[in-house]
Amino acid sequence: MSAAPMRNLDLMTPPVVKTIQQRSLIIGLVFGGIAALGAWHQADEFFRAYLMAFMAWLGVTLGSMAILMLRHLTKGAWGMVIRRILGAAMRCVPLMAALFIPLLFGLRRLYIWARPLDAMADNHLREHLQEITKTYLSVNGFVIRAVFYFAIWWGLSFFLTQWSAEQDHPPMRDNSTRFKALSGPGLILYGLTITFAVIDWIMSIDPSWISTIFGLSFLIGQVLSALCFAVVVERILFRYKPMSELLKPEQVHDHGKFMLAFIMVWAYFSFSQWLIIWAGNLPEEITWYMRRLHGGWGYVGLFLVLFHFAVPFVLLISRPFKRDITRLVWLAAWLLLMRYVDLFWVIEPNFSLTFNITWLDVVVPIAMGGLWLAYFFRNLSAMPLVPAYDVFAVEVLEVAHD
Amino acid sequence: MKRTGVYGIMAEFDSVHTLLHAANRVREAGYKRIDAYSPFPVEGLAEAIGFHHDEVPLVVLIGGLIGGLTGYLMQYWISVVSYPVNVGGKPYHSWPAFIIVTFEMTILFAGISAVLGMLALNGLPMPYHPVFNAPRFAFATKDRFFLIVFSSDPKYKPTEVRSFLESLQPRSISEVPD
pLDDT tens-digit series, residues B137-162: 877 788 888 888 888 877 777 787 77
Residue B38 in this model has a pLDDT that exceeds 60: yes
As a dihedral over the C-alpha atoms of residue B70, residue B76, residue B81, residue B82, rounded to 10 degrees, the angle is 70
Q: How far apart are CA A360 and CA A366, in angstroms?
A: 10
Is residue B128 one of the residues assigned to a domain?
Answer: no
Q: Label residue B4 by pLDDT band (50, 70, 90).
A: low
Taking residues A132-148, report their average pLDDT. Answer: 89
Length reported for chain A: 402
Is residue B160 one of the residues assigned to a domain?
Answer: yes
Enumerate residues 6+ apart whose C-beta is below 8 A from A309: A263, A264, A266, A267
B111 and B87 in a common domain: yes
| More reliable by pLDDT, B139 or A262 | A262
Does B177 touch chain A if contact means CB atoms closer than 8 Å? no
C-beta separation of A54 from A202 below 8 A = no
Q: How far apart are CA A190 and CA B18, in angstroms?
A: 50
High-pLDDT (> 70) share of chain B, %: 98
What backbone phi and psi angles, to 5 degrees, belong to B173? -135, 135
CB under 8 A, 24+ apart: contacts of B38-45: B38/B140, B38/B145, B38/B146, B39/B140, B39/B141, B39/B142, B39/B143, B39/B144, B39/B145, B42/B16, B42/B145, B43/A401, B44/A402, B44/B20, B45/B19, B45/B20
Which residue does chain A place closest to B18, by CA atoms? A402
Residue A10's pLDDT is 81
In A, which residues are within 8 Å of B88 by CB distance?
Answer: 279, 281
B164 and B147 in a common domain: yes
Q: Label residue A256 by pLDDT band (50, 70, 90).
A: very high
Shortest Cα–Cα distance, B47 to chain A (Å): 14
Shortest Cα–Cα distance, A279 to chain B (Å): 8
Q: How far apart are CA B67 and CA B71, in angstroms?
A: 6
Residue B56's pLDDT is 87
Q: How far apart are CA A274 and CA A280, in angstroms?
A: 10
Residue A136 in this model has a pLDDT that exceeds 90: no
Does B41 touch chain A if contact means CB atoms closer than 8 Å? no
Is residue B126 one of the residues assigned to a domain?
Answer: no
Which residue in the set B17, B44, B96 is minimally distant from A275, CB to CB?
B96
CB contacts < 8 A, A to B, total 16
Q: Label residue A137 by pLDDT band (50, 70, 90).
A: confident
Q: Label residue B2 by pLDDT band (50, 70, 90).
A: very low
B115 and B68 in a common domain: yes
C-beta separation of A56 from A224 below 8 A = no
Inter-chain touch B96–A402, beta carbons under 8 Å: no
B84 and B48 in a common domain: no
Question: CB-based burial of residue A15 (10 Å sphere; 0-12 exposed, 13-18 middle, 19+ buried)?
Answer: exposed
Shortest Cα–Cα distance, B148 to chain A (Å): 22
Shortest Cα–Cα distance, A282 to chain B (Å): 11
Inter-chain touch A274–B96, beta carbons under 8 Å: yes
Residue A7's pLDDT is 57
Residue A399's pLDDT is 53
Residue A354's pLDDT is 92
CA–centroid distance for A14 within its chain: 25
Q: How far apart are CA A137 and CA A190, in angstroms?
A: 21
| DSSP 8-state symbol, A124 | H
Q: How far apart are CA A250 and CA A181, in angstroms?
A: 28
CA distances from A401 to A1, A247, A398, B68 (A): 8, 15, 9, 43
Residue A363 in this model has a pLDDT that exceeds 90: yes
B62 and B41 in a common domain: no
Which residue in the set A271, A401, A402 is minimally distant from B99, CB to CB?
A271
Range of the domain at B68: 56-121
Q: What is the pLDDT of residues A29-77, one digit of tens each?
A: 999 999 999 898 999 999 999 999 999 999 999 999 999 999 999 988 8
Taking residues A313-338, report their average pLDDT. Answer: 94
In A, which residues are within 8 Å of B60 by CB distance?
Answer: none
Residue A231's pLDDT is 96
Q: How far apart are CA B146 and CA B124, in angstroms?
A: 21
| More reliable by pLDDT, A90 or B16 | A90
Taking residues A184-209, report their average pLDDT. Answer: 94
Q: Label residue B3 by pLDDT band (50, 70, 90).
A: very low
| DSSP 8-state symbol, A309 | I
| More reliable by pLDDT, B14 or A56 | A56
Inter-chain touch B44–A281, beta carbons under 8 Å: no
C-beta separation of A186 from A331 below 8 A = no
Residue A8's pLDDT is 66
Shortest Cα–Cα distance, B89 to chain A (Å): 10
Residue A120 in this model has a pLDDT that exceeds 90: no
Is residue B131 one of the residues assigned to a domain?
Answer: no
C-beta separation of B63 from B110 below 8 A = yes
Q: How far apart are CA A53 and CA A373, in angstroms?
A: 13
B62 and B117 in a common domain: yes
Taking residues B101-124, report their average pLDDT. Answer: 93
In A, which residues are within 8 Å of B96 by CB distance?
Answer: 274-275, 278-279
Inter-chain touch A279–B20, beta carbons under 8 Å: no
B110 and B159 in a common domain: no
B117 and B144 in a common domain: no
Is residue B132 one of the residues assigned to a domain?
Answer: no
Question: How many structural domains are present in chain B?
Answer: 2
Between vectors from CA A59 to CA A54 and to CA A60, what angle results, nearest 5°? 110
| More reliable by pLDDT, A72 or A9 | A72
In B, which residues are within 8 Å of A281 by CB distance?
Answer: 88, 90
What backbone phi and psi angles, to 5 degrees, belong to B89? 75, 10
Closest CA to A203 of A326, A112, A80: A112
Residue A331 in this model has a pLDDT that exceeds 80: yes
C-beta separation of A345 from A300 below 8 A = yes
Q: Comparing A215-219, B53-57, B64-68, which segment has the lowest mean pLDDT?
A: B53-57
Mean pLDDT, chain A, rounded, equals 91
Chain A residues at the B interface, defined by Cβ less than 8 Å, are: 271, 274-275, 278-279, 281, 401-402
C-beta separation of A73 from A99 below 8 A = no
Q: How far apart are CA A48 and CA A109, in angstroms?
A: 9
Taking residues B1-19, report their average pLDDT. Answer: 76
Is residue B127 one of the residues assigned to a domain?
Answer: no
In A, which residues are within 8 Å of B17 by CB distance?
Answer: 401
B60 and B117 in a common domain: yes
Does B96 touch chain A if contact means CB atoms closer than 8 Å? yes
Q: Comparing A9-18, A305-314, B114-123, B150-159, which segment has the lowest mean pLDDT?
A: B150-159
Which of B121, B145, B160 is where one domain is finished?
A: B121
Is residue B11 one of the residues assigned to a domain?
Answer: yes
User: A253, A278, A313, A402: best mutation site toward chain B, by most B Cβ within 10 Å?
Assistant: A402
DSSP lists the bridge partners of residue B177 as: B6
Residue B39 in this model has a pLDDT that exceeds 90: no
Residue A285 in this model has a pLDDT that exceeds 50: yes
Which residue in the set A279, A401, A402 is minimally distant from B97, CB to CB?
A279
Mean pLDDT, chain B, rounded, equals 85
B112 and B65 in a common domain: yes
Shortest Cα–Cα distance, A251 to chain B (Å): 14
Which of B121, B152, B167 is where one domain is finished?
A: B121
ipTM for the complex?
A: 0.71
Q: Label residue A5 by pLDDT band (50, 70, 90).
A: very low
Which residue in the set A278, A401, A402 is minimally distant from B96, CB to CB?
A278
Between vectors from CA A338 to CA A332 and to CA A339, what angle results, nearest 5°? 90
Closest CA to B106 of B98, B117, B118, B97: B98
3-state helix/strand/coil string of B49-84: CCCCCCCHHHHHHHHHHHHHHHHHHHHHHHHHHHCC
B99 and B66 in a common domain: yes
Inter-chain touch A275–B20, beta carbons under 8 Å: no
High-pLDDT (> 70) share of chain A, %: 96
High-pLDDT (> 90) share of chain A, %: 73
Taking residues B34-38, report their average pLDDT. Answer: 85
How many Å is the Cα radius of gyration of chain B?
25
Q: How far apart are CA A116 and CA A107, in angstroms?
A: 12
Inter-chain touch B100–A275, beta carbons under 8 Å: yes
Is residue B130 one of the residues assigned to a domain?
Answer: no
What backbone phi and psi angles, to 5 degrees, belong to A115? -120, 80
Residue A190's pLDDT is 97
Residue A400's pLDDT is 44
Question: CB-based burial of residue B131 (10 Å sphere; 0-12 exposed, 13-18 middle, 19+ buried)?
Answer: middle
Q: How far apart are CA B176 and CA A331, in angstroms?
A: 50
B76 and B112 in a common domain: yes
Q: What is the CATH number of the domain that holds B19?
A: 3.30.70
